[in-house]
Amino acid sequence: MSLSGTSVGIDYHQHSLQVAVMSSDGRLLGNKRLSNDVGDVISYVAKFGSVQSVAIEACTGSANFAHDLRNQSTWEVRLCHPGYVQRMRHNPDKTDKSDGFLLSDLNRVGYLPEVWLAPEETQDLRTMVRYRKLLVEQRKEVKLRIRAILRQHRIKKPSEIRCWWTKGALKWLGKLQALPAHTLWVLRKHLGEHERITTAIGEAETRLSETTTRDMIVRNLKQIKGVGLVGACTIRAEIGTVSRFRTGKQLARFCGVTPRNCSSGERQADAGLIKAGNPGLKTAVIEICNSLVRHNTHWREFALRLSNAGKPYGVVVGAVANRWVRQLYHELKRVEQQPPA
What are the DSSP calls for 187-206, one per residue?
A: HHHHHHHHHHHHHHHHHHHH
Are 233 and 278 in the same domain? yes
Rounded to whole angstroms, the Cα distance separating 4 from 215 reads 39
What CATH number corresponds to the domain at position 62? 3.30.420.40
Average pLDDT over residues 287-298: 92
Rounded to whole angstroms, the Cα distance separating 156 from 208 reads 37
Residue type, 204: A
pLDDT at 261 over 90: no
Cβ atoms within 10 Å, residue 10: 28
Q: What is the pTM of this model?
A: 0.83
Are 207 and 173 in the same domain? yes
Residue 111 lies in a domain: yes
Give the residue from 115, 150, 179 where a domain finishes: 115
Are 111 and 127 in the same domain? no
Average pLDDT over residues 103-128: 86
Do the Cβ atoms of 49 and 72 come closer than 8 Å? no
Looking at 58-62, 230-234, 265-269, 281-285, which range is the least confident one?
A: 265-269
CA distances from 116 to 20, 110, 133, 268, 297 (A): 22, 15, 23, 35, 36
User: Contacts from 141-148 at CB under 8 Å and sequence distance 24+?
Assistant: 142/190, 142/193, 142/194, 142/197, 143/194, 145/190, 146/173, 146/187, 146/190, 146/191, 146/194
Give the residue from 55, 87, 115 where a domain finishes: 115
pLDDT at 102 over 50: yes
Are 108 and 125 in the same domain? no
Residue 322 lies in a domain: yes
Ordered strands of the 16-22 beta sheet: 28-35, 16-22, 6-12, 51-57, 77-80, 114-115
Q: 136-150, 153-167, 306-320: which has the highest mean pLDDT?
A: 136-150
Q: Tell me, what's the pLDDT at 266?
A: 60
Are 221 and 206 in the same domain? no
Number of domains in the chain: 3
* Alpha helix stretches (DSSP H) within the chain: 38-46, 62-72, 82-88, 96-109, 120-152, 167-174, 181-211, 216-222, 229-239, 248-255, 279-295, 297-308, 313-337
Residue 108 lies in a domain: yes
Are 176 and 247 in the same domain? no
Give the residue from 211, 234, 258 where a domain finishes: 211
Looking at 201-210, 219-228, 272-281, 316-325, which range is the least confident one?
A: 272-281
DSSP one-letter code for 338: S
DSSP one-letter code for 122: H
Average pLDDT over residues 213-229: 91
Print the domain residue range for 140: 120-211
| Residues 198-224 as b or e (16 or more Cβ within 10 Å = b) | bebbeebbeebeeebeebebbebbbeb
Average pLDDT over residues 22-30: 91
Q: Which phi and psi angles does 245 have, rounded to 5°? A: -105, 140
- Please choose, from the candidates 40, 18, 42, 38, the residue with its C-alpha nearest in 3D space to the C-alpha of residue 30: 18
Residue 1 lies in a domain: no
| pLDDT per residue as tens digits for the range 122-138 | 999 999 999 999 999 99
| pLDDT per residue as tens digits for the range 33-74 | 999 999 999 999 999 989 989 999 888 888 899 999 999 998
Rounded to whole angstroms, the Cα distance separating 39 from 197 reads 42
Are 104 and 188 in the same domain? no
Binned at pLDDT 50, 70 and 90, residue 1 comes out as very low
Rounded to whole angstroms, the Cα distance separating 65 from 70 reads 9
Rounded to whole angstroms, the Cα distance separating 106 from 52 reads 13
Are 94 and 126 in the same domain? no
Are 178 and 99 in the same domain? no
Average pLDDT over residues 139-155: 95
pLDDT at 252 over 60: yes
